[in-house]
C-alpha cells in the first residue's frame, strides 16, 4: 500500500495543456499513473496526450470520476484552481506551482478546510507511490523504487537526493511526499507522519525538514506522544544566518522562530535520530531496518 | 517590497486611518518650510529599514531652524546600507499611550493574524519574547474579515493583559479600535501585504488614536497585481526586497535567487533545499560559504553562466562548488554550460562540480576532459573544495 495515492487514484491535471503540464503529465502517464482528464478553461472538448480536456473541474469529475487533482497552472491562477477542485468534491489536491501570493493561499486553505479537501503544496514536487506505479507531480520517474520507507520532505531536489541515496542501498519507498517550501501549506509534517503511522506498508519514516516555521516541532510533539515506527530526521539550512530567506519563501529564521537548533532538539527529544548528512540518513535507516531490506 | 513610511501612511489615510500631518522634504530648505507650516515636527529618515531612531535618523525639531538643521544632518546619511534620499517632517504628537497593531501571516495557523498590544513602541518580537502575555491575537475568517464583536473581544483581552487605566475609558477603545482594525485588515488584503503594522499606534493626550509609524510590506509574489506601486517605488523597491547588501541588490536586478553569506566558497546548486544542504556540507568540512544561489529546475547553459558570473562578482570568493541533482536538469547540459562559462569568463579559481542523476556519466566525462574536478559524493566534493580554497592564495 501507500499513503494518499494508489494505483486506484484517478488523476486530473489542471493546466495540462501548458508546457509544464504537458511534460509532467506525460511523465506521470509513463510512470503508470491513471491520469483520466485535463482541465484548461476554454479548451474543453479537445484532446491532449490522448486524454479528454474539460473547461471545468466539475465537468471532468462528472465525466471521469477523478478523485485527485494535480495543479500546474501559473501562480496568479493557482489558488483559484485549487479551490475549484475542492468545490468539485475532489478530496486530494496537489499543487506544484511556485510563487503563489501568500494571502491567496490563506484564503484557499480556509476554503479547502470547509470542504474537507486535503492539499499537498504549493511550491512542492508532489508525491509518488512507487509500488502503486502512481505519482502526481514532478519527482523524476527513474530515481524511485518500491519499498517500505516513507519519505516526507519540504523540498524538491533534496528529496530526490534522499530517495536516490536510499535506493542505492536497496531501500525503496512506500510513498514520498514533498510538502512544499512555502510559508502557508496544505498538509504539514504532522499530518503526513500520522498517515505513515497508519500505513501497514511503511516500516520507517524519513522526515527532512528545513529552517523556518515550526512544522518540524509540531511533528516532533506528535511523534513524542508514542509513535510506533522509527523516524529518521534531517534538517537542512543549519548553517543559514537569521533573517535571510534561503530560496524557499518559507525558509527563513525570524526572531526566535524557525531556527535549526530548535527543530533538531525537538526531534531528538521525541526520540528521533537526526542525521547530519544524507549519507547518514541511509546509515540510520540501515541500523533500524537491517542491511537486507525488503524490496 | 517594503513601502517607505510616508508611502505606507498615504495608504493608511486612503482607508481612513488617521496619521499625523506631514510633508516629505528632499532638502533642508523644504524641511524648514514644512516646520513653518506644521510647528514642532519630528524629522524622520525615509529608508525601508528599521532601527532608524538608534542610527540617528529621527530627530525632534521645535523650530523651523532646528528642522532645517535636522534635515541637513539626516539627508544623505547612510542607515544600514541605505542612503537617505528624503525625510518626513511630521507634526509632533502629544503622546498619552502607545499601542501596537499589526496584520500579518501566521504560518502555524495557515491564517492571517491581527496582533494588538498595549506594550506599543517596542519591537513586537521583543515584547513576544519577554512578556508574551501582553500580546493579544485574533485570527479572522479569511473571507469575512474581522467582525466588530471579535475586535471588541480582542481589545478587551489586550486591555486585561495590562490592567488599570490606559489613558482612555474602555468604551472609547472598543469604539475606536473596531473600524481601525477592520480598515487595516482590508488594506492588507487589497495590497496583498505580508505585513501591515502601526507601531506605535499613538493615543494622544486629546484622546485620539493616530498612526505614529507605519510599516507595509507587499508580498513579493503579488507584485504583479500592483504595477503602480512597483513603478512608484522604482529602484528602492528591489533594494528593499533584497536587503541592504549590494551583491543581493545586483542579483535581484539579474533575476537570480542569491543570498550573500560572507564566506569565500562560492555555491551554485539547483533547488533551495539542495543548496541549503550544500552550504551545510561546506561548513561541516570547515569552509565558509560565500553565498546561496539556486538556479532552479531544468536550467539551461545561459542560466549556469549567469550564475557563475554572479558568484564571481563577490571579491571574497576563492573557489566555487557546483552541486547539481539531475532530475529534469541534465548533467551533460550543465557541464557544457559550466565549461563554456568558465572559458568565456576566464575563471582561474578552483571549481569543483558534483553532479548526480540524469546523464551524470556524460556530464562527468565532459568536465574531466575540460580539467574540472568532478565529484561523485557531495560530502567528498565539499571536502575537496574546502581543501583547494584553504590551500590557495589568501
Is the domain A139-289 a CATH 3.40.47.10 member? no
Residues of B in contact with A208 (CB under 8 A): 273
Domains A11-120 and A139-289 share a fold: yes
Q: Nearest CA of chain B to the CA of A45: how many Å?
A: 31
Q: Nearest CA of chain B to the CA of A221: how many Å?
A: 14
With a CB cutoff of 8 Å and minimum separation 6, the contacts of A265 are: none
Tell me the sheet residues that pair with B354.
B323, B375
What is the separation of C-alpha B47 from the centre of its chain, rounded to a whole number of angstroms?
A: 12
A218 is catalytic: no
**Tens of pLDDT, residues A151-200:** 999 988 899 999 999 999 999 999 999 999 999 999 999 999 999 999 99
**Tens of pLDDT, residues A242-266:** 888 888 878 888 777 789 999 999 9
- Inspect the interface and report whether the beta carbons of A100 and B129 lie closer than 8 Å: no
Q: Nearest CA of chain A to the CA of B137: how many Å?
A: 17
Residue A66 contacts B where some CB pair is shorter than 8 Å? no
Q: Give me the helix-helix angle, B301-312 and B331-345, nearest 10°.
A: 50
Residue A259 contacts B where some CB pair is shorter than 8 Å? no
Say how far apart CA B90 and CA B210 lie, in whole Å.
12
**Tens of pLDDT, residues B224-274:** 999 988 887 765 544 444 456 889 888 888 888 999 999 999 999 998 999
Q: Nearest CA of chain A to the CA of B307: how many Å?
A: 14
- CATH class of residue range A11-120: alpha beta
Residue A53 contacts B where some CB pair is shorter than 8 Å? no
Q: Where in chain B is the domain with CATH 3.30.1490.20?
A: 21-92
Cα torsion at A206, A211, A212, A213 (round to 10°)? 30
Q: Kindly report the backbone phi and psi dihedral angles of residue A136, in degrees, each rounded to the nearest multiple of 5, phi listed first.
A: -125, 115
Quickly list DSSP for B69-130: HHHHHHTT-EETTEE---EEEEEPP-EEEEEEEEEEEETTTTEEEEEEESSTTS-HHHHHHH
Residue B394: predicted pLDDT: 56
Name the residue facing B276 among A109, A160, A236 (closest C-beta). Answer: A236
Is the domain B21-92 a CATH 3.30.1490.20 member? yes
**Tens of pLDDT, residues A83-141:** 999 999 999 999 999 999 999 999 999 999 999 999 999 999 999 999 999 999 999 99
What is the separation of C-alpha A232 from the centre of its chain, rounded to a whole number of angstroms?
A: 17
- Inspect the interface and report whether the beta carbons of A247 and B282 lie closer than 8 Å: no
The candidate with the shortest Cα–Cα distance to A31, out of A150, A170, A130, is A130
Interface A-B: count of C-beta contacts within 8 A: 168
With a CB cutoff of 8 Å and minimum separation 6, the contacts of A90 are: A12, A57, A61, A66, A67, A68, A69, A117
Say how far apart CA B336 and CA A255 lie, in whole Å.
42
**What are B253's three cell numbers?**
536586478
Residue A170 contacts B where some CB pair is shorter than 8 Å? no
- Inspect the interface and report whether the beta carbons of B273 and A158 lie closer than 8 Å: yes
Q: Where in chain B is the domain with CATH 3.40.50.261?
A: 245-391
- Inspect the interface and report whether the beta carbons of B110 and A241 lie closer than 8 Å: no
State ipTM. Answer: 0.91
Residue A168 contacts B where some CB pair is shorter than 8 Å? no
- Inspect the interface and report whether the beta carbons of A184 and B107 lie closer than 8 Å: yes
Say how far apart CA A102 and CA B145 lie, in whole Å.
16
Q: Which of residues 219-238 of A touch B (CB under 8 A)?
A: 236-238
**Average pLDDT of every residue of chain A:** 94
The candidate with the shortest Cα–Cα distance to B28, out of B77, B83, B68, B73, is B68
- Inspect the interface and report whether the beta carbons of A156 and B273 lie closer than 8 Å: yes
The CATH code for residues B245-391 is 3.40.50.261
Q: Which regions in chain B score pLDDT beneath 50?
A: 237-242
- Domain residue spans of chain A: 11-120, 139-289
With bands split at pLDDT 50, 70 and 90, how would you rate the model's confidence at A34?
very high
- Inspect the interface and report whether the beta carbons of B273 and A75 lie closer than 8 Å: no
Is the domain B95-232 a CATH 1.10.10.60 member? no
Tell me the sheet residues that pair with B43.
B59, B89
**H or E element at residue B359:** none
List, in sequence order, every beta strand (DSSP E) within chain A: 11-14, 35-39, 47-48, 51-54, 68-71, 92-95, 118-120, 126-129, 134-137, 146-153, 173-178, 204-210, 231-236, 273-275
Residue B102: predicted pLDDT: 96
Task: Kindly report whether the global pTM for this prediction surpasses the value 0.80.
Answer: yes
Cα torsion at A14, A95, A93, A230 (round to 10°)? 150
Amino acid at each position: 500500500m501507500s499513503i494518499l495515492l494508489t494505483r486506484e487514484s484517478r488523476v486530473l491535471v489542471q493546466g495540462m495543456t501548458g508546457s509544464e503540464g504537458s511534460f509532467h503529465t506525460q511523465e506521470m502517464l509513463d510512470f503508470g499513473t491513471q491520469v483520466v482528464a485535463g482541465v484548461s478553461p476554454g479548451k474543453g472538448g479537445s484532446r491532449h496526450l490522448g486524454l479528454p480536456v474539460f473547461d471545468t473541474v466539475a465537468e471532468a469529475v462528472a465525466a471521469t470520476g477523478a478523485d485527485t487533482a494535480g495543479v500546474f497552472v501559473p501562480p496568479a491562477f493557482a489558488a483559484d484552481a485549487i479551490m475549484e477542485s475542492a468545490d468539485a468534491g475532489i478530496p486530494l489536491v496537489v499543487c506544484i506551482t511556485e510563487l503563489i501570493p501568500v494571502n491567496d493561499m490563506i484564503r484557499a486553505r480556509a476554503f479547502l478546510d470547509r470542504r474537507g479537501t486535503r492539499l499537498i503544496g504549493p511550491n512542492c514536487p508532489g508525491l509518488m507511490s512507487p509500488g502503486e506505479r502512481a505519482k502526481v507531480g514532478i519527482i523524476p520517474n527513474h530515481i524511485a523504487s518500491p519499498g517500505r520507507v516513507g519519505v516526507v520532505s519540504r523540498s524538491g531536489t533534496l528529496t530526490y537526493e534522499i530517495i536516490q541515496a536510499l535506493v542505492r542501498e536497496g531501500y525503496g519507498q512506500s510513498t514520498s511526499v514533498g510538502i512544499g517550501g512555502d510559508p502557508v501549506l496544505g498538509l504539514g509534517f504532522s499530518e503526513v507522519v500520522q498517515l505513515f503511522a497508519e500505513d501497514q506498508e511503511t516500516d520507517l519514516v524519513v522526515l527532512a525538514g528545513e529552517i523556518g516555521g515550526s512544522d518540524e516541532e509540531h511533528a516532533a510533539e506528535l511523534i513524542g506522544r508514542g509513535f510506533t515506527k522509527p523516524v529518521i530526521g534531517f534538517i537542512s539550512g543549519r548553517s543559514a544566518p537569521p533573517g535571510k530567506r534561503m530560496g524557499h519563501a518559507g525558509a527563513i529564521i525570524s526572531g526566535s522562530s524557525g531556527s535549526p537548533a530548535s527543530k533538531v532538539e525537538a526531534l531528538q527529544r521525541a526520540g528521533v535520530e537526526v542525521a547530519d548528512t544524507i549519507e547518514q540518513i541511509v546509515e540510520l535507516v540501515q541500523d533500524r531496518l537491517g542491511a537486507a531490506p525488503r524490496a | 517590497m517594503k513601502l517607505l513610511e510616508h508611502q505606507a501612511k498615504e495608504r493608511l489615510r486612503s482607508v481612513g486611518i488617521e496619521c499625523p500631518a506631514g510633508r516629505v522634504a528632499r532638502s533642508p530648505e523644504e524641511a524648514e518650510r514644512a516646520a513653518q507650516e506644521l510647528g514642532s515636527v519630528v524629522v524622520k529618515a525615509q529608508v525601508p529599514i528599521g532601527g532608524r531612531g538608534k542610527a540617528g535618523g529621527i530627530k525632534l525639531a521645535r523650530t523651523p531652524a532646528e528642522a532645517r538643521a535636522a534635515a541637513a544632518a539626516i539627508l544623505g546619511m547612510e542607515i544600514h546600507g541605505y542612503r537617505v534620499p528624503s525625510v518626513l517632517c511630521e507634526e509632533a504628537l502629544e503622546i498619552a499611550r502607545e499601542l501596537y497593531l499589526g496584520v500579518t501571516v501566521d504560518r502555524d495557523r495557515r491564517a492571517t493574524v491581527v496582533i494588538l498590544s498595549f506594550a506599543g513602541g517596542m519591537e513586537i518580537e521583543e515584547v513576544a519574547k519577554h512578556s508574551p502575555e501582553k500580546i493579544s491575537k485574533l485570527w479572522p475568517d479569511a473571507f469575512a474579515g474581522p467582525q466588530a464583536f471579535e475586535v471588541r473581544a480582542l481589545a478587551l483581552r489586550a486591555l486585561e493583559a495590562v490592567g488599570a487605566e490606559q489613558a482612555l475609558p474602555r468604551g472609547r477603545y472598543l469604539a475606536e479600535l473596531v473600524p481601525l482594525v477592520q480598515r487595516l485588515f482590508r488594506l492588507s488584503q487589497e495590497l496583498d501585504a505580508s505585513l501591515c503594522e502601526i507601531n506605535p499606534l499613538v493615543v494622544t493626550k486629546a484622546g485620539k488614536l493616530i498612526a505614529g509609524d507605519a510599516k507595509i510590506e507587499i508580498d513579493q509574489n503579488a507584485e504583479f497585481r500592483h504595477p503602480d506601486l512597483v513603478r512608484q517605488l522604482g529602484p528602492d523597491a528591489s533594494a528593499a526586497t533584497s536587503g541592504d547588501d549590494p551583491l543581493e541588490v545586483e542579483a535581484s536586478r539579474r533575476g537570480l535567487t542569491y543570498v550573500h553569506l560572507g564566506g569565500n566558497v562560492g555555491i551554485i546548486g539547483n533547488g533551495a533545499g539542495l543548496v541549503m544542504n550544500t552550504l551545510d556540507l561546506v561548513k561541516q568540512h570547515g569552509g565558509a560559504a560565500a553565498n546561496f544561489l539556486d538556479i532552479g529546475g531544468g536550467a539551461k547553459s545561459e542560466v549556469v553562466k549567469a550564475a557563475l558570473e554572479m558568484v564571481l562578482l563577490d571579491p571574497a570568493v576563492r573557489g566555487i562548488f557546483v552541486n547539481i541533482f539531475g532530475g529534469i536538469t541534465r548533467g551533460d547540459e550543465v557541464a557544457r554550460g559550466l565549461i563554456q562559462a568558465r572559458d568565456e569568463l576566464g575563471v582561474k579559481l578552483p571549481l569543483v562540480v558534483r553532479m548526480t542523476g540524469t546523464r551524470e556519466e556524460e556530464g562527468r566525462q565532459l568536465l574531466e576532459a575540460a580539467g574540472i574536478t568532478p565529484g561523485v559524493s557531495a560530502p567528498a566534493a565539499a571536502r575537496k573544495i574546502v581543501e583547494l580554497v584553504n590551500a590557495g592564495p589568501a
